[in-house]
Chains A and B, each alone.
Chain A
């Protein structure tokens, strides 16, 4: 049985593969390649989409790193797909219907636009919300806490 890595290496020699600390293999692709990569993974036996999230680093140009998590029931293993983008990425809802909510969540909280998503609207925040709160340069919000002891000590 060919492993996922062999499938990927056969189609994309020199593919950027690595491992996270928990031992999950990841494949880093360019944002434009996400759709092809997912199709390849599907052909190689990946049958479940589990998770999608983004990690923001505003110091980079392509600041959002999308992290897809897949699972293959036959190989009994997780697999990660990573892609960096500065705001646009292809949607994978055609391949995995379960990505619908996840892409909307990333759009809502990070502002990454998934091209080809059937209904890319805000998911968690109100529709009229301004900004994307999970970006690193967005403030936490909330209000300053005025403890009684602060008033007593500083007389404010």
Chain B
């Protein structure tokens, strides 16, 4: 006979349960796999298992030339393709030491910031979707489509544009395109207000994110965490401000920080960053100078078409560049740029030949991912979803 108030015998050991989350899971943002050890609903231990998207990009880059590698950088972080192009181009330009025309530099800032807005929009949509807010996803993708239309009009591709090349931009930015971009950019702050209306004071959203997944500064430093995660923990470290590239020191923008270090703080930081990016885009459009968008160094970029008609030297440069590819002088270079996820940089090693010896990407998601166990420990398994979403890992650049 059983009694209703039968107690669990004291001798029974308290057991933890090991479960597996991913690699096919709707809220792991791709193919992240987490091995969890649970005590009831509480996460005792969390171990990320990665490699489910290992693409061998770094090996492929070694077997091709420097120009082919540009197309591969797009596919590493597929939400920040132009930012990845930029980081790669800057590292290569350090090796060449070639001058970049002013119009190309301003254009790079413009494109990099538009890409940052794009990336944060996708993050906002998917993170809100993970927490059950379907409409934010639809709103965010509405703006993203407008932005991708702009990219497509300029570059011919929606996502993998490969538009920022070593030595400048692939092509000039037409005047109508700049006007359309300005129109889009001017409309954007109102749209961000809409997202804020949906989420910022939404009590369910706040319940799910406030105080969840806290990351202390000491942990963030030890784990090499960068980007919005670090800024949400109170450190105003932004490479655009700390180590300006592309003339970021001449733009007016704030580095938004929060001190809470939880998922809600990361949400706020990213939204504020979008507003700052809008400011930078406006300034870039205002100051867009005329002139070339390709470097005058003929070892890096081919001469313009019109010169080929009458200059033998230009024709030889063109021929050499397209048969042998880029041949950077021997050496190593690394330039850190601020991607939407943190410090991104390409470590390029050249031996003077047409093929890279080594191209290594310092991927921000790779380091940020190591913070998930710290943030998830002691929390509920339902909060883990919010934590993963707030880290915004892009498995393409984690696994490369």
Hey, which bits of chain A sit against chain B, CB under 8 A? 20-22, 24, 47-51, 53, 55-56, 67, 69, 73, 76, 78, 96-98, 100-102, 109, 122-126, 133-134, 136, 140-141
Contacts and interface: CB of A to CB of B under 8 A. Distances in A.
B369 A51 contact: no
Contacts of B349: 55
A20 B243 contact: no
Interface of B: 50-51, 54, 56, 58-60, 62-63, 91, 94-95, 97, 221-226, 235, 237, 242-243, 331-336, 343, 345, 347, 349, 357-358, 360, 362, 366-367, 369-370, 399-400
A114 to B, nearest CB: 16
Contact of B362 (A22, A69, A140): A69
B222 A133 contact: no
A123 B60 CA distance: 19
Contact of A78 (B58, B60, B237, B336): B336
Contacts of A141: 56
- Per DSSP, chain B at the interface is mixed
- Per DSSP, chain A at the interface is loop
Contact of A22 (B63, B91, B223, B224): B91
B365 to A, nearest CB: 11
B54 A124 contact: yes
Contacts of A69: 334, 347, 362
Contacts of B60: 140
13 contacts: A21-B332, A22-B94, A49-B224, A50-B336, A50-B362, A50-B367, A53-B347, A56-B358, A73-B237, A98-B370, A100-B370, A123-B50, A124-B400
B224 A96 contact: yes
A133 B224 contact: no
Contacts of B62: 136
A122 B366 CA distance: 15
A46 B281 CA distance: 34
A134 B345 CA distance: 19
Contacts of B366: 101-102
B94 A21 contact: yes
A124 B396 CA distance: 12
Contacts of A124: 50-51, 54, 399-400
A98 B347 contact: no
A133 B362 CA distance: 19
